[in-house]
């Protein structure tokens, strides 16, 4: 009989792409995941992973087995959901994926509140970009995802995934303290054409919003520096190296070399909680969504 824990490890590698990422998602060490898959190879007398450069790739047999694992895990999830519904108390393990500023500015309070209110619930969080976490929810790799989109760049969700609005996060223009905009109450988007920008790399939601917005305002953005973390963007602004658009959630106090100016109209990104349709009745999911909304300010 195939071991479900070993199948879960294989499924995690198929979803996350690497043994290390799968281990982080499962809460194991990479060596533990590798051992689980090695045991599964011995049990099935089948090669499941092949070396590809510095990484690994699933064989055709492994992909078939990973899909079987996905189906088995869906059955297990339904059974656990029904049992939790009968008890009426949030319990078991719940995995949450959240983008960086939500992981920093919102999830600590939510996770602490869940632990205090529901000691039978083992809630765990991973920091994941919204584009990736949507797919993880759809594939059953995480239970709840906290994602965001922007007013001109909606984030689509696939069939079988439900969503609830958490709240709206306003964004400000952050400029060096000696900048020509410092001290002004607001700046129009059309005035930004000559600025040097500090932003996140291409492919991330914030970068795409900035490029689209400035182009619609008749400006081609001059992107001088790129970094994924908002604190890094702020540090570069404070050093006088450009301007940046920074959401308020998780931003924290600015250093002395940077100030905020309102951009007119104010950019808005909306935060959502996502979960699979089959988990809608699970008390742990509904209580997590309520917690996210309760701690949103």
Calculate the alpha carbon distances from 107 to 62, 96, 193, 294 in Å: 35, 9, 36, 11
Residue 84 pLDDT exceeds 80: no
- Measured distance CA(91)–CA(284) in Å, rounded: 6
Expressed in percent and rounded to 5, the helix, strand and coil fractions of the chain are 45, 25, 30
pLDDT of residue 143: 92
Nearest alpha carbon to residue 278 among 73, 124, 102: 73
Per-residue model confidence as pLDDT tens digits over 191-202: 998 899 999 998
Residue 86 pLDDT exceeds 80: no
Residue 172 pLDDT exceeds 90: yes
223 alpha-carbon distance from chain centroid: 24
> 144 or 139, which is more confident?
144
Per-residue model confidence as pLDDT tens digits over 247-258: 999 888 999 999
Winning range, highest mean pLDDT, from 84-98, 101-115, 152-166: 101-115
For residue 28 the two structure tokens come to 């194991």
Residue 294: pLDDT band (50, 70, 90) is: very high
Residue 89 pLDDT exceeds 90: no
CA angle 277, 148, 288 (to 5 degrees): 50
For residue 34 the two structure tokens come to 């590798």
Residue 153 pLDDT exceeds 90: no
Beta bridge partners of residue 79, listed in sequence order: none
pLDDT of residue 2: 82
Cis preceding-peptide flag for 296 (omega within 30 of 0)? no
């Amino acid at each position: 009989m195939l071991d479900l824990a070993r199948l879960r490890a294989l499924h995690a590698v198929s979803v996350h792409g690497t043994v290390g990422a799968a281990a982080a998602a499962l809460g194991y060490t990479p060596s533990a995941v590798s051992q689980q898959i090695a045991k599964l190879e011995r049990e099935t007398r089948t090669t499941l992973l092949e070396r590809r450069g510095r990484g690994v790739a699933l064989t055709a047999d492994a992909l078939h087995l990973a899909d079987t694992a996905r189906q088995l895990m869906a059955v297990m999830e339904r059974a656990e959901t029904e049992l939790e519904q009968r008890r009426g108390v949030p319990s078991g393990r719940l995995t949450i994926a959240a983008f960086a500023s939500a992981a920093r500015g919102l999830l600590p309070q939510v996770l602490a509140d869940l632990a205090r209110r529901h000691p039978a619930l083992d809630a765990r969080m991973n920091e994941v970009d919204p584009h990736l976490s949507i797919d993880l929810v759809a594939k059953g790799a995480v239970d709840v995802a906290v994602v965001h989109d922007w007013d001109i760049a909606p984030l689509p969700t696939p069939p079988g995934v439900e969503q609830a609005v958490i709240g709206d996060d306003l964004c400000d223009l952050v400029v060096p303290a000696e900048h020509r905009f410092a001290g002004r109450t607001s700046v129009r988007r059309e005035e930004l054409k000559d600025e040097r920008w500090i932003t996140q790399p291409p492919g991330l939601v914030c970068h795409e919003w900035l490029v689209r917005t400035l182009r619609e305002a008749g400006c081609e953005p001059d992107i001088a520096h790129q970094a994924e973390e908002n604190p890094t963007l702020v540090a570069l602004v404070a050093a006088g190296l450009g301007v940046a658009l920074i959401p308020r959630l998780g931003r924290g106090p600015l250093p002395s070399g940077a100030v905020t100016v309102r951009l007119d109209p104010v950019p808005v990104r909306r935060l959502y909680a996502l979960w699979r349709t089959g988990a809608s009745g699970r008390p742990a999911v509904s209580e997590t969504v309520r917690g996210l909304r309760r701690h949103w300010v």
